[in-house]
C-alpha cells in the first residue's frame, strides 16, 4: 500500500502527554463557573479542540457559540461526524472575524446528515484556508482511545486500500504476531474538549444517558475539559450510583450549568432537535450577506445562551421539543 | 400488482435481501426504511444497529440523525461508536447499507469530493463518516442509489469506502477482512451484484418494464449480465401496505404521490 501523504496536527508523544496529566490539579474542588469564564480560561488561540456528542446530538452548543463569540483563532479541530457543531465553528471563518479554524482532521464535515450540505461550511473548506486530513469516524475514535490508554498508536482494519487512507496521516504496519497488514493510527490528545452531559456535580463527576458516541475516550484524552450540563446534581447523588458516572472529576476543569445546552441539537430523554431552526440556519447560509445578518442576530449579538434560546422561540418552543423527545409516537412530525 | 413509485420499489426490493436473524447497521432514510420494512415483514428477528451506538430500538418513527435518540428509543442498548464498529470489525455484523455520490464497477464509493484534486475539489462532500469502517468490516454491503451516468462512473474521483478496490484479492492484500465486500446495488432500474471471478458489477435482475439497454445507457461503464437475467419480483401488496402505513406513514421518504 503506498504511504499516506498528510501531516499530523497533534503530537502522538505519550511521554509529553504523561507530563501534562501529571501536572494537572487533581483536587476535588468546586469547578462551577459560567460559559464565558470557562472559555476565557481554558480555550486558547492555536489549541487543538475536540467536541463531544454526534454533530447535532448532545453537543455543547453554548460552549461552541462562546468560542466563536470570543473570537478564538487558528484552532485545530477533530471532525468526527461534525455537523451542526462544525457549522457553528465555521461562523468564525470567512465572516470578517479572522480565522477560527486553521486545521481539521476530517471524518465527516460540511454535511448535516439527512438535512443536506452546509453552504457556509463548504465555502470555508473549499476555500483552501483550512489544512485538512482524512480519517474515518472509527479511526478518530481509536485515536482518542489510544490517547485515553496512554499509548502512541493503535491498529485497526479499516481505511486500508482507499484514498481515505492515502490522504490521512495513518501508517501501514504489519502485525507482529500474524503478519497481516494493519493500519496504525496515532494517539490524539486534544488541548481542550467541550462535552455536554445530562448531570454533573460541582466537582465534575458526569452522567451521560443514551449513547456515549466517543465521549468516554474524548474526556480521558483531552488535556483540558469543559463540561456543560443540563443540571448540577449533588455529590451525594453521584455517590448513590457510581455505576452511572461516565466522566470522573479528575478529567474535568470547568462545569457550566446550561439547561437546553445542546439546543438546537437533540438531547436524549430531554428534548428533540429543532429541525425548523436548523433548516433556517442552512437556508440563511445560502447567501453570504443574509448569513452574516443571521449569525449577528442569533450568535454574535446575544448576551448569553439563555438569550439565544429566547430568540429561538423561548419556553414554548423548548416545551414542544421536550414533548417530541418524550412522546415521539404521538408527536406530529420531525419539525412539529 | 400494486402500483408504486421508484423509492417504494427500491425500499421493498432492498428489504428482501436482509435475512431473518441477522444484524444490520443502517443509516437514516431509505436504508432505515428497508430494514424497518424487513423487520415488519420477512425478517422479524432482524437486529438494527446505528453507528453512534443505538442497538435494537423500537423505532417510533424515522430517525433524522444516526445518533439521535430514536436510534435507541426503547432499545436494547445505548453504547459507544467504537463498540458498534468493533462489533463489525470482529465479524458479527452481517449487513450494512452505504451510499455515495459516485460508485465504480468494483463497488468503490465516493462520498468525499467531486473533482480529482484533493486540495482543490469542485465540491467538498462530508467524507467517510463511518462509511469506510462499515464498508470494510460488514460481511455484505448493500447500496440503494438512483441509477444514472453521473453516479455510475468508470473511476470514482476519490475512493472513500472500499468496494473490491481494483479486483479479485485486492481487499485481502490491502489488509481488509477476507470475504467481505459489496453485495447488491438496488436502483430504480435493476438489482446489480458482483461477478464472483472478476468482482465487477453485473446486472442480476431488471425491474418490471425495464430493458437491459436502458440500464446500460444509464451506466458509465460496461456492465456484466447474469445468465439467465431475471425479472425482479415486484413489491407485494402487503409490503407496500406496511411501508405506507407503518414504516413511513408521513410519507417523508416515499413522497405523497
Mutation for B interface: A154, A161, A183, most B CBs within 10 A: A161
Residue found under cell 447499507: B97
Q: Specify the CATH superfamily of domain A14-152+187-331.
A: Glutaconate Coenzyme A-transferase (3.40.1080.10)
Q: Which of residues 160-219 of A touch B (CB under 8 A)?
A: 160-164, 167, 172, 180-183, 209-214, 216-217
Contact indicator for A144, A175 with CB cutoff of 8 Å: no
- Tell me which chain B residues have a C-beta less than 8 angstroms from the C-beta of A1: 174-175
- Tell me which chain A residues have a C-beta less than 8 angstroms from the C-beta of B112: 134, 163-164
Q: Do B133 and B69 sit in the same domain of this protein?
A: no
pLDDT in tens, B73-103: 999 999 999 999 999 999 999 999 999 999 9
Complex ipTM above 0.95? yes
Contact indicator for A58, A268 with CB cutoff of 8 Å: yes
Q: Do B59 and B70 sit in the same domain of this protein?
A: yes
Instruction: Tell whether B67 is within 8 A of chain A (Cβ).
Output: yes
DSSP3 helix / strand / coil % (chain A, rounded to 5) = 35, 20, 40
Q: Do B83 and B157 sit in the same domain of this protein?
A: no
Q: Which domain holds residue B227?
A: 97-232
Higher pLDDT, B174 or A330: B174
Q: Do B220 and B255 sit in the same domain of this protein?
A: no
Q: Which three cell numbers stand for residue A83?
A: 455537523
Q: Per-residue pLDDT averaged across B164-187, rounded?
A: 98
pLDDT at A330: 75
- pLDDT confidence band for B257 (50 / 70 / 90): very low
Instruction: Tell whether B230 is within 8 A of chain A (Cβ).
Output: no
**Looking at B19, B51, B86, B172, which residue is catalytic?**
B51
- pLDDT confidence band for B1 (50 / 70 / 90): low
Phi, psi of A196 (to 5 degrees): -105, 130
Q: What percent of chain B has pLDDT over 90?
A: 93
Contact indicator for B136, B162 with CB cutoff of 8 Å: yes
Q: Do B122 and B42 sit in the same domain of this protein?
A: no
Burial (0-12, 13-18, 19+ Cβ within 10 Å), A254: buried
Which mean pLDDT values do the consecutive 10-residue runs of chain A (336 residues) have?
86 98 97 98 98 98 98 97 97 96 98 95 96 98 98 98 98 97 98 98 98 98 98 98 98 98 98 97 97 96 95 96 92 50
- Distance from chain centroid for Cα B252: 19
Q: Which three cell numbers stand for residue B128?
A: 467517510
pLDDT > 80? residue B219 = yes
pLDDT in tens, B25-35: 999 899 999 99
pLDDT at B144: 97
- Residue B172 a catalytic site member: no
Min Cα distance A314 → chain B (Å) is: 22
Chain-chain contact of B136 with A115 (C-beta, under 8 angstroms): no
Return the exposure string of A147-178: e unless at least 16 CB atoms fall within 10 Å of the residue's CB, then b. bbeeebbbbbbbbbbbbbbbbbbbbbeeeeee
Q: Do B122 and B243 sit in the same domain of this protein?
A: no
Nearest by CB to B60, from A53, A183, A329: name it: A329
pLDDT > 90? residue B60 = no
Q: Per-residue pLDDT averaged across B53-68, rounded?
A: 94
- In chain A, where does the domain assigned CATH 3.40.1080.10 lie? 14-152+187-331
**Number of domains making up chain B:** 2
Q: Which three cell numbers stand for residue A275?
A: 429541525
Instruction: Tell whether A279 is within 8 A of chain B (Cβ).
Output: no
Cα dihedral A22→A28→A32→A35 (10° resolution): 10
Q: Do B202 and B130 sit in the same domain of this protein?
A: yes
Q: Which three cell numbers stand for residue A283?
A: 437556508
Min Cα distance B42 → chain A (Å) is: 24
CATH code for position B20: 3.40.1080.10
Q: What is the pTM of this model?
A: 0.97
- Give long-range contacts, CB 8 A cutoff, 24+ apart: B207-210: B207/B9, B207/B13, B207/B231, B207/B232, B207/B234, B208/B1, B208/B232, B208/B234
Amino acid at each position: 500500500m503506498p504511504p499516506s501523504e498528510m501531516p499530523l496536527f497533534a503530537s502522538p508523544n505519550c511521554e509529553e502527554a504523561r507530563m501534562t496529566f501529571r501536572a494537572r490539579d487533581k483536587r476535588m474542588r468546586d469547578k462551577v463557573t459560567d460559559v464565558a469564564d470557562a472559555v476565557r480560561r481554558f480555550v486558547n488561540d492555536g489549541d487543538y479542540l475536540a467536541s463531544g456528542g454526534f454533530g447535532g446530538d448532545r453537543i455543547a452548543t453554548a460552549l461552541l457559540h462562546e468560542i466563536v463569540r470570543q473570537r478564538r483563532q487558528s484552532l485545530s479541530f477533530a471532525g468526527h461526524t461534525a455537523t451542526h457543531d462544525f457549522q457553528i465553528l465555521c461562523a468564525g471563518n470567512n465572516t470578517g472575524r479572522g480565522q477560527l479554524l486553521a486545521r481539521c482532521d476530517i471524518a465527516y464535515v460540511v454535511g448535516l446528515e439527512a438535512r443536506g450540505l452546509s453552504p457556509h461550511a463548504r465555502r470555508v473548506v473549499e476555500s483552501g484556508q483550512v489544512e485538512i486530513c482524512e480519517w474515518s469516524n472509527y479511526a478518530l475514535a481509536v485515536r482518542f482511545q489510544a490517547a485515553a490508554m496512554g499509548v502512541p498508536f493503535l491498529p485497526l482494519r479499516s481505511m486500508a486500500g482507499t484514498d481515505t487512507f492515502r490522504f490521512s496521516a495513518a501508517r501501514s504496519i504489519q502485525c507482529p504476531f500474524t503478519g497481516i497488514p494493519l493500519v496504525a493510527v496515532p494517539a490524539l490528545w486534544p488541548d481542550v474538549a467541550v462535552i455536554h452531559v445530562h448531570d454533573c456535580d460541582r466537582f465534575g463527576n458526569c452522567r451521560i444517558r443514551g449513547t456515549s458516541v466517543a465521549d468516554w475516550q474524548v474526556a480521558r484524552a483531552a488535556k483540558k475539559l469543559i463540561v456543560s450540563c443540563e443540571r448540577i446534581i449533588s455529590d451525594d447523588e453521584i455517590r448513590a450510583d457510581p455505576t452511572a458516572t461516565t466522566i470522573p472529576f479528575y478529567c474535568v476543569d470547568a462545569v457550566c450549568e446550561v439547561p437546553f445546552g445542546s439546543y438546537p441539537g437533540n438531547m436524549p430523554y430531554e428534548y428533540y432537535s429543532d429541525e425548523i431552526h436548523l433548516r433556517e440556519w442552512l437556508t440563511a447560509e445560502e447567501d453570504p450577506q443574509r448569513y452574516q445578518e443571521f449569525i449577528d442576530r442569533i450568535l454574535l449579538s446575544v448576551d448569553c445562551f439563555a438569550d439565544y434560546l429566547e430568540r429561538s422561540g423561548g419556553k414554548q418552543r423548548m416545551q414542544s421539543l421536550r414533548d417530541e423527545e418524550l412522546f415521539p409516537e404521538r408527536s406530529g412530525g420531525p419539525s412539529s | 400488482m400494486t402500483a408504486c413509485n421508484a423509492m417504494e420499489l427500491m425500499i421493498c426490493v432492498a428489504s428482501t435481501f436482509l435475512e431473518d436473524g441477522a444484524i444490520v447497521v443502517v443509516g437514516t432514510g431509505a436504508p432505515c426504511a428497508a430494514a424497518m420494512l424487513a423487520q415488519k415483514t420477512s425478517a422479524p428477528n432482524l437486529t438494527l444497529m446505528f453507528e453512534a451506538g443505538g442497538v435494537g430500538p423500537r423505532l417510533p418513527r424515522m430517525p433524522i440523525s444516526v445518533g439521535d435518540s430514536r436510534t435507541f428509543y426503547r432499545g436494547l442498548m445505548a453504547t459507544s461508536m467504537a463498540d458498534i464498529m468493533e462489533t463489525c470489525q470482529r465479524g458479527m455484523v452481517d449487513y450494512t447499507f452505504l451510499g455515495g455520490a459516485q460508485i465504480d464497477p468494483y463497488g468503490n464509493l465516493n462520498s468525499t469530493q467531486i473533482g480529482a484534486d484533493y486540495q482543490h475539489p469542485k465540491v467538498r462532500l462530508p467524507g467517510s463518516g463511518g462509511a469506510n469502517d462499515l464498508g470494510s468490516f460488514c460481511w455484505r454491503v448493500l447500496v440503494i442509489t438512483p441509477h444514472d451516468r453521473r453516479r455510475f462512473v468508470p473511476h470514482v474521483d476519490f475512493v472513500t469506502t472500499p468496494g473490491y478496490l481494483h479486483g479479485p484479492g485486492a481487499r485481502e492484500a490491502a489488509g481488509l477482512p477476507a470475504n467481505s465486500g459489496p453485495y447488491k446495488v438496488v436502483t430504480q432500474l435493476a438489482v446489480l451484484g458482483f461477478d464472483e471471478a472478476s468482482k465487477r458489477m453485473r446486472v442480476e435482475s431488471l425491474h418490471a418494464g425495464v430493458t437491459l439497454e436502458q440500464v446500460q445507457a444509464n451506466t458509465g461503464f460496461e456492465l456484466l449480465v447474469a445468465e439467465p437475467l431475471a425479472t425482479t419480483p415486484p413489491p407485494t401488496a402487503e409490503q407496500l401496505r406496511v411501508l405506507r402505513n407503518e414504516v413511513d406513514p408521513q410519507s417523508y421518504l416515499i413522497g405523497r404521490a
